[in-house]
Amino acid sequence: MKGKVALITGSAKGLGKKTALTLAAQGCHIAINYVHSESEALALRSEIQHLGVQCITVQADISRSEELEAMVKQVTDALGTIDILVNNAGPFIRERRLFADYSQTQILAMIEGNFVGTLLLDHLVLQGMREKGWGRIIHFGFGHAAESRAWPHRAVYAAAKTGLVSFTKTLAVEEAPYGITVNMVCPGDIRGSNKEMSIADARQIQDGETPLGRPGSGEDIARVIAFLCESNSDFITGNIMDISGGLDPIRPWIKPT
């Protein structure tokens, strides 16, 4: 993937940061997107530049269409046509609440940040990918999103992501003739510092909630994304991939006795 241009949204820290570092290590030029985490973005830019690739930082809120257009232009002007788009950013309200208890402002923010913004950003990069005859688009979901099951207390987030499942599959079919693949990765419940952790370090931690027995790490997600972005992964498109160690976020795991 040497010389490919990758834009990763929400990549100043967490899973996006780990993905940016992984793609940079494979030779990609990186555009780091952030909203508020400027200091983290600048520190990551310096770290990535030491890997011998180009890297820029771009502030943009993916829920605002005008900011998306400006971001894509800035990336294209600085690095060239975007080859890889990783739609990592998306608001999530961890506090559990019934749908009736959300405000309309919160509902719209969740839908625009997790669904509408992703569609619009995909739309902005497609033409450049088509002209090159090559492109990789990655969406983010949640475990078992492809089944569109009821997820009490997560109604808005689940609605946005399950809608994105259908869009992922549709866009994959439409863009396959142009050499563009579209896939979704669905991380398990990876929290806090684990999002930037290596697999080796995660194996040193016990996790009684995950059937595998250890928590997920940022590397678990980033290595799958990197694989999907390889040229020889062009036969993999329209897939919804759970990367969860067997964890079901909706139904609790019944431990063996």
Does residue 65 sit within a domain?
Answer: yes
Residues 18 and 44 sit within 8 Å (Cβ to Cβ): no
Using CA atoms in the order 20, 142, 117, 93, what is the torsion angle rounded to 10 degrees? -100
Residue 47 and residue 52: Cα distance in Å, rounded? Answer: 10
Does residue 66 sit within a domain?
Answer: yes
pTM of the shown model: 0.94
* CATH code (residue 116): 3.40.50.720
Exposure on the CB side of residue 210, measured as CA atoms within 13 A? 21
CA 215 and chain centroid, separation: 19
| Domain carrying residue 107 | 5-243
Does residue 257 sit within a domain?
Answer: no
The first and second tokens of residue 84, run together, are: 């890889």
Does residue 128 sit within a domain?
Answer: yes
Residues 14 and 218 sit within 8 Å (Cβ to Cβ): yes
Alpha helices for 133-217 (secondary structure H): 155-175, 199-202
Q: Tens place of pLDDT for every residue, the chain, 257 residues?
A: 899 999 999 999 999 999 999 999 999 999 999 999 999 999 999 999 999 999 999 999 999 999 999 999 999 999 999 999 999 998 888 889 999 999 999 999 999 999 999 999 999 999 999 999 999 999 999 988 999 888 889 999 999 999 999 999 999 999 999 999 999 999 988 989 999 999 999 999 998 888 999 999 999 999 999 999 999 999 999 999 999 999 887 776 666 65
SS3 label, residue 111: helix
The first and second tokens of residue 125, run together, are: 């990069």
Does residue 181 sit within a domain?
Answer: yes
Does residue 122 sit within a domain?
Answer: yes
What is the per-residue pLDDT for 253? 62
Count structural domains, the chain.
1
Does residue 254 sit within a domain?
Answer: no
Residue 30 and residue 53: Cα distance in Å, rounded? Answer: 8
What is the per-residue pLDDT for 92? 83
What is the per-residue pLDDT for 150? 86
Residue 146 and residue 246: Cα distance in Å, rounded? Answer: 15
The first and second tokens of residue 168, run together, are: 């992922």
Does residue 61 sit within a domain?
Answer: yes
What is the per-residue pLDDT for 12? 96
**Residue 175 corresponds to which amino acid?**
E
